[in-house]
Amino acid sequence: MAQDKLKLIPLGGLGEFGMNCMALRWQDDILVIDAGLMFPEEELLGVDIVVPDISYLTENRDKVRGIVLTHGHEDHIGGLPWILSELNVPVYGTEFTLAFVEGKLEEHNLLDDAELNEIIPGHRLTLGPFSIMPIRVTHSLVDCVALAIHTPVGVVLHTGDFKVDLSPTDGQPFDLQAFAELGKQGVLALLQDSTNVDRRGYTPSEKAVRPRLNEIFGQTKKKLFFSCFSSSIHRIRLAMELAAEHGRKIAIIGRSLDNSTEIAQDLGYLEPAPGLLIHPGQIKDFPPEKLCIMISGTQGEPMSALSRAAVNNHKFARIDAGDTVLMSSRVIPGNEKSIYRVIDHLERRDATVIYDDGTAGLIHVSGHGSQEELRLMINLVRPKFFVPIHGDYRHLKRHVELASSMGLVEKAILMEDGEVLELDRNSATKTGNVTVGRVCIDSGGAASDVVEDLVIRDRRHLSEDGIVLPIIAINKGTGRLENLPEIVMRGMAVPEEGLIAEARQVVQRTLDGSSNEEKADYGVVKEKIRTDLKRFIQKSMSRRPLIMPVILEI
* Residues contacting 478, CB < 8 A, separation 6+: none
User: Cα–Cα distance between 415 and 250 in angstroms, integer?
Assistant: 47
Residue type, 22: M
- 89 inside domain: yes
pLDDT of residue 347: 95
Average pLDDT over residues 411-425: 96
Quick count: other Cβ atoms within 10 Å of Cβ 187? 22
Which residue in the list 53, 143, 175, 193 is annotated as catalytic?
A: 193
Instruction: For the chain, state the CA radius of gyration.
Output: 29
Do 61 and 104 have their domain in common?
Answer: yes
pLDDT digits (tens, 9 = 90+) for 205-234: 999 999 999 999 999 999 999 999 999 999
Do 479 and 401 have their domain in common?
Answer: no
- 536 inside domain: yes
- 460 inside domain: no
Banded model confidence at residue 467, pLDDT cuts 50, 70, 90: confident
pLDDT digits (tens, 9 = 90+) for 154-201: 999 999 999 999 988 888 999 999 999 999 999 999 999 999 999 999
pLDDT of residue 358: 56
Do 196 and 223 have their domain in common?
Answer: no
Banded model confidence at residue 497, pLDDT cuts 50, 70, 90: low
Above 80 in pLDDT, residue 517?
A: no
The better pLDDT of the pair 472, 29 is held by 29
Residue pair 175/121 in contact by the 8 Å Cβ criterion: yes
The region of weakest confidence among 68-72, 261-265, 508-512 is: 508-512
Do 23 and 155 have their domain in common?
Answer: yes
Residue pair 192/377 in contact by the 8 Å Cβ criterion: yes
The CATH number given to whatever domain includes residue 423 is 3.60.15.10
Do 160 and 277 have their domain in common?
Answer: no
Of 451, 481, 498, which closes a domain?
Answer: 451
User: Cα–Cα distance between 268 and 73 in angstroms, integer?
Assistant: 19
Give the rounded percent of residues in the chain with a pLDDT score beyond 70: 93
Above 70 in pLDDT, residue 252?
A: yes
The CATH number given to whatever domain includes residue 287 is 3.40.50.10710
Residue pair 101/77 in contact by the 8 Å Cβ criterion: yes
Do 370 and 474 have their domain in common?
Answer: no
Banded model confidence at residue 32, pLDDT cuts 50, 70, 90: very high
pLDDT of residue 447: 43
Of 298, 326, 354, which closes a domain?
Answer: 354
Mean pLDDT of the chain: 90
Give the rounded percent of residues in the chain with a pLDDT score beyond 90: 67
The region of weakest confidence among 1-10, 143-152, 215-224, 384-393 is: 1-10
3-state secondary structure 263-323: HHHHCCCCCCCCCCEECHHHHHHCCHHHEEEEECCCCCCCCCHHHHHHCCCCCCCCCCCCC
Average pLDDT over residues 105-134: 95
Average pLDDT over residues 23-32: 96
- 100 inside domain: yes
In 3D space, the residue among 365, 213, 234 whose CA is nearest the CA of residue 292 turns out to be 213
Above 60 in pLDDT, residue 445?
A: no
Helix (H) or strand (E) holding 119: none
The better pLDDT of the pair 538, 54 is held by 54
Average pLDDT over residues 32-46: 78
Could you tell me the pTM of the whole model? 0.82
Do 236 and 321 have their domain in common?
Answer: yes
pLDDT of residue 58: 95
Domain ranges, residue 248: 206-354
Residue pair 11/21 in contact by the 8 Å Cβ criterion: yes
Confirm whether 34 is a catalytic residue: no
Average pLDDT over residues 400-426: 96
User: Cα–Cα distance between 384 and 277 in angstroms, integer?
Assistant: 51
Helix (H) or strand (E) holding 439: strand 438-441
Quick count: other Cβ atoms within 10 Å of Cβ 442? 14
Confirm whether 193 is a catalytic residue: yes
Average pLDDT over residues 521-545: 85
Which residue in the list 234, 345, 368, 395 is annotated as catalytic?
A: 368
pLDDT of residue 452: 61
Do 118 and 191 have their domain in common?
Answer: yes
Average pLDDT over residues 224-250: 95
pLDDT of residue 495: 61
Banded model confidence at residue 361, pLDDT cuts 50, 70, 90: low
- 515 inside domain: yes
- 459 inside domain: no
pLDDT of residue 418: 95
Do 195 and 211 have their domain in common?
Answer: no
Do 338 and 223 have their domain in common?
Answer: yes
- 221 inside domain: yes
pLDDT of residue 41: 66
Above 50 in pLDDT, residue 1?
A: no
Do 44 and 186 have their domain in common?
Answer: yes
Q: Which residues are annotated as a binding site for substrate?
A: 364-368
Above 70 in pLDDT, residue 377?
A: yes
Q: Which residues are annotated as a binding site?
A: 46, 48, 71, 73, 75-76, 139, 161, 364-368, 390, 442
pLDDT of residue 500: 83
Do 29 and 73 have their domain in common?
Answer: yes
Above 60 in pLDDT, residue 429?
A: yes
pLDDT of residue 45: 58
Of 451, 483, 505, which closes a domain?
Answer: 451
Write phi, then psi, for 323 (nearest 5 degrees): -70, 160
pLDDT of residue 499: 81
- 457 inside domain: no
pLDDT of residue 496: 58
Our count of domains for the chain comes to 3
Q: Which residues are annotated as a binding site for Zn(2+)?
A: 71, 73, 75-76, 139, 161, 390
pLDDT digits (tens, 9 = 90+) for 271-298: 999 999 999 999 999 999 999 999 999 9
